Amino acid sequence: MTEPILLFFLQKVDTTNGECTVTMGEHRECTVTMGEHGECTITMGEHGECTITMGEHRECTVTMGEHRECTVTMGEHGECTVTMGEHGECTVTMGEHRECTVTMGEHGECTVAMGEHGECTVTMGEHGECTVTMGEHGECTVTMGEHGECTITMGEHGECTVTMGEHRECTVTMGEHGECTVTMGEHGECTVTMGEHRECTVTMGEHGECTVTMGEHGECTITMGEHGECTVTMGEHRECTVTMGEHGECTVTMGEHGECTVTMGEHGECTITMGEHGECTVTMGE
């Protein structure tokens, strides 16, 4: 079933002047556009839009399986696999040193995992738990539990744990090489500052907003708003934004050379965007 789709896809890419429309079933139209530098955009229809854009040196293979599995492979220097399983699971895998896996499970779980030197896992569980884990030299875990608990853990040379419990307790633990300043404001604001190059600010607002900011070369902002919105932003060269909105929207954005946006909207939309030399956008609709 997948082989004819692959052949058709490749033929269209080779024989058009840069734009091509592939129809994959009644509500899953697929548009493939090849740009000036070899960019490839794939858009899938009304209830399952999927846009994939890849840069100058990135081969692209898309396979649609019997149970809606979707595999996207990106070329020699950064393979990328996207799989949509029987229960809506979506897995994105990137190359040898920057593996990235996004999984949406039976209960809406979403896992993002990045590679050997910067693993990043985002999990949204049955009760809305959200876990973000970053790699070997700067592990960062954010967990929002059943009662709104939020735990942030950072790595070997500046461990930082922030826990917000049932009554909004806030615990900050700092590692071996990082100064820590905690300030509690009029409305419950909490500011945590870590060293010269890794400033970290946590702010608790009037409606439960929580902002975490990290320093000059790796700014990280986490905001939890009135409706449970959560935004994570990382610095100048690795911006990362995670937003969970009123309807469970989740956006992840990574920086200048590898932007990555993951959005899960009201109908389960999921968008993944990658950077300047290998943009990749994946959107999954209702």
Digits of tens for pLDDT over the chain (286 positions)?
Answer: 222 222 222 222 222 333 333 333 333 333 334 344 433 444 443 433 333 433 333 333 443 333 333 344 433 433 334 444 443 333 443 334 333 334 334 433 333 433 343 333 333 334 333 334 333 333 333 433 443 333 444 334 333 444 444 433 334 443 343 333 343 334 333 444 433 433 334 433 443 333 443 334 333 334 334 433 334 433 343 333 343 344 333 334 333 333 333 433 343 333 333 333 333 333 333 3
**Residue 266: how many other CB atoms lie within 10 Å:** 11
Half-sphere exposure of 86 (CA within 13 A, CB side): 1
Conformational region of residue 176, where left means phi above 0, alpha means psi within -120 to 50, and beta covers everything else: alpha
C-beta separation of 36 from 55 below 8 A? no
Helix (H, G, I), strand (E, B) or coil at 5: helix
pTM value is 0.19
Half-sphere exposure of 267 (CA within 13 A, CB side): 8
Integer Cα distance of 196 and 203 in angstroms:
19
